[in-house]
Structure 1
Amino acid sequence: MIRFLSHSVNRIDAKGRVSVPAAFRSVLAEEGVQELYCFQDFVFPAISVGGPQLLARFERQIDAADPFSPEANQMSLLIHGGGVFMKLDSEGRLMVTDFIRDFTGITDQVAFVGRGEFFQLWQPQAYEDMQAAARESRKR
């Protein structure tokens, strides 16, 4: 199965666009993803990005719960209220919108981080700090 792996940092251009790494674009192409589902991560100051199947996975979880339960309502608030659809341009660039900037603190560079079936957009220093903390916690 194809996965998003590794990480890289790319600079945002003067028009507010950033090139998605070629390896990530290859995964999207292999999966036939035309439209990206982007949502504010539940834990990290990052935007999680995947295809429509990622949204469908979350919606199946909501559908399996009591529609009036706090859990189902909270999940809907997070995945629907905290999500948008976006597209790459013809050159494989993503527009870094206020939706992305405001939640992540991204300014002039984006760290692309593979997370298996999706990838994330991080402010580079925040990613480095979180990666170091995760590595340190695994030493215990």
Structure 2
Amino acid sequence: MTRKLRFRGESHHKVDGKGRVSIPASFRRVLEAGDPNYTEGLNPELVIVYGDKRRKYLECYTVEAIEEVDDKIEALPRGSVERRMLQRLFNTQSHATSVDDTGRLVLPAKLREKIGLSSEALFTGAGDTFQIWEPETYESEELAATEEWLDDLPDNVDPLIFLDGPSGG
């Protein structure tokens, strides 16, 4: 079985006035591996989903990851509210793009404004997707929520126990 590349780690990058931001090199390798049309010399494609108003970040999908989401949406009954809403969130409120020749993304103003991004972006790996955050928002909300979750666990509980399901076994 081939090992599937994953987005891992976090990295800060400058954003210029035109919304250009470098993608971490390791993330570019995952985008290349997750784009069935990618070949050496081409730029890998990706989809940036921005629609969920509750999310204060941009969620970036490889071509394969977004196709998996699309397949699940298409399996829902045609005309159902769930299908229409998910189509709106993942198809309408998304931005298909590619990495440029210098390893950067160009983030349109609408997307930067949605998350309050100005001069610096924080890239965070999330397995088969990655997120782009305004660094202070990540610190104050996402990191704080993780710390709170850990603080609520008894001292003798290792978070790895949750990998085996809700009962821990």
Q: TM-score, normalised to structure 1's length?
A: 0.90
1:114 & 1:41 partners in 2: Cα distance? 19
> 2:58 maps to which residue?
47
1:63 & 1:50 partners in 2: Cα distance? 18
Q: Does 1:6 align with 2:1?
A: no
Unaligned runs of 5+ in 2: 39-43, 153-169
Change (3 A) 1:61 1:30: closer
- Greater relative CO (CA pairs within 8 A, separation 6+): 1
- Can you list the C-alpha shifts for 1:36-61, whole angstroms capped at 9, x where unaligned? 11101644211111222222112112
In the TM superposition, residue 17 of structure 1 has moved relative to its aligned partner by 1.0
2:17 & 2:84 partners in 1: Cα distance? 39
Moved over 3 A (4+): 30-33
The one-letter code sitting in structure 2 at the alignment partner of 1:37 is V
Q: Give SS of 2:92's match.
A: coil
Q: Is the 8 A contact 2:20 2:104 kept in 1?
A: yes
Q: Give SS of 1:36's match.
A: strand
Q: Which has the larger radius of gyration?
A: 2
Match for 1:57 among 61, 64, 68? 68
2:91 & 2:7 partners in 1: Cα distance? 23
1:14 & 1:103 partners in 2: Cα distance? 16
Figure out how many residues of one structure are paired with residues of the other and give that number. Answer: 140
Q: CA RMSD in A?
A: 1.6
Aligned-pair identity in percent equals 29
Change (3 A) 1:21 1:31: same
Q: Does 1:37 align with 2:40?
A: no
- Can you list the C-alpha shifts for 1:5-56, whole angstroms capped at 9, x where unaligned? 1111111134431110111112223334521111016442111112222221
Change (3 A) 1:14 1:63: closer
Unaligned runs of 5+ in 1: none
> 2:129 maps to which residue?
118
